[in-house]
Amino acid sequence: MSRYSSVQSATSLLATLVFAACSIDAPTGPSRLQPDVLAGVADANAGVKRPGRIDRETFGNNLSHPVIFAEARGITGLALLNGSTRLYENTGLRPTAAVDAPALAELTTAGSIPFWYSGNIAVESTEPRDVYWQQSSNTWQAEWAGRPTGKTPAVVDWGDNLRSVQYAINSVIRVEHVLVADDGTMLQGFPMDALVNPSSPTEKQGIYADGGETQTVALTPTVFTDRARLKIEKLAAKGGAVTHTYFNKAVYEGFGIDGPGKYAAEINVGGRVIFGYVWMMKDVTMPTNVPKDGWWRITFSVDNLSGVTFTTLGVDDATIATVTPTATVAEIFVKTRRGGGGGGGGGGDDLPH
């Protein structure tokens, strides 16, 4: 099989994995884009720095899949354009000044994307070849576009877990959305052809060191808007009145705020920009006489002045959600019986009939 045939298979696989229940990415929150620890991990055997080693605590994921930045602002809210000049240091993507300063300098000097850092070093692997892994000091950046005006049409993909998992009142519920450009735009990205432990907390992805690692392919980009908003409400019944609003925040409201409780976008292990929130049901405190179990409504929307308009839903999402040009809504049932951590247990005995 040619490399490009395997690339297409890997790309299709990633589109499926990006929504797997609660484990599509090892981090459970935004990527660590500006960690305190500098690049480089000690090699216990050789006593030297091995730039290619995986270190989840130090390094975030690289953008492998291209993205359109609606409103021409990066994932930390900074402007991406000065006239026609790209401000790479403002994207919130790797390479960053805190972790990848030499790579960022090289990117800025080159002034073009896609970008592959000349200092990347593949890691010896049990895979068929050495690998440039995500969450290591290796860094690259797919093509992106900043759109300061107009509205980008986008398909809304919901995380598959909300369709496939029955949650309980002590569950950890991962709420994820991906916006996919729906205007025919194609941008260049790096195929992630190395995959280990898919759909698990220890999932790893990377790029094989096979001589073609710097080659890119045309992909449909995702879309980022800092005007994306997530709202979670308790209902009296399915389709009924709202009895409690648990969460209601937009991405831009979390800029400059550290720690949990905000809504944010991140780069997942597959290298795609996604919107994510970890809903800790066991920690939810309800008002008096409002039960935690029962029907909940999840609304993903865009605020005024957003550069995005919703066109349709992803594959099979119409089974749980509806969509308008500015919002998509789903309702899920949370059962009383206590289940396991991420999935909330099996069964379904507590589902209404």
Q: What confidence score (pLDDT) does residue 54 get?
A: 57
The whole-number average pLDDT for the span 296-307 is: 97
pTM of the model: 0.81
Q: What confidence score (pLDDT) does residue 22 get?
A: 37
Is 60 exceeded by the pLDDT of residue 42? no
Q: What confidence score (pLDDT) does residue 53 get?
A: 54
Separation CA 91–CA 137 (nearest Å): 18
> For the purposes of burial, counting CB atoms within 10 Å of the CB of 330, is it exposed (0-12), middle (13-18) or buried (19 or more)?
buried
- Of 343 and 68, the one with more pLDDT: 68
Q: Do 156 and 300 form a contact (C-beta atoms < 8 A)?
A: yes
Give the tokens for residue 133: 């892994």
Q: What confidence score (pLDDT) does residue 185 get?
A: 98
Enumerate the domain spans of the chain: 3-149+186-220
pLDDT digits (tens, 9 = 90+) for 57-116: 689 999 999 999 999 999 999 999 999 999 999 999 999 999 999 999 999 999 999 999
Output the average pLDDT for the chain: 83
Q: What confidence score (pLDDT) does residue 261 get?
A: 81
The lowest-confidence range among 34-43, 285-294, 339-348 is 34-43
Alpha helical stretches, state H, 130-198 = 161-164
- Please report, as a single letter, which amino acid is at residue 288: T
Q: What confidence score (pLDDT) does residue 25 get?
A: 33
Q: What confidence score (pLDDT) does residue 258 get?
A: 78
Helix (H, G, I), strand (E, B) or coil at 18: coil
pLDDT digits (tens, 9 = 90+) for 249-275: 999 999 988 777 899 999 999 999 999
Is 80 exceeded by the pLDDT of residue 55? no
> For the purposes of burial, counting CB atoms within 10 Å of the CB of 241, is it exposed (0-12), middle (13-18) or buried (19 or more)?
exposed
Residues 6+ apart with CB under 8 A from 326: 301, 302, 306, 309, 310
- The Cα-based distances of 89 to 39, 64, 103 in angstroms read 17, 17, 11
Give the tokens for residue 268: 């997942």
Alpha helical stretches, state H, the chain = 3-17, 101-110, 161-164
Q: What confidence score (pLDDT) does residue 127 get?
A: 73
pLDDT digits (tens, 9 = 90+) for 311-338: 999 999 999 999 999 999 999 999 987 5
Instruction: State the pairing for strand pair 67-70/144-147.
Output: parallel
Number of H helices, E strands in the chain: 3, 23
- CA-nearest of 115, 109, 135 to 35 is 135
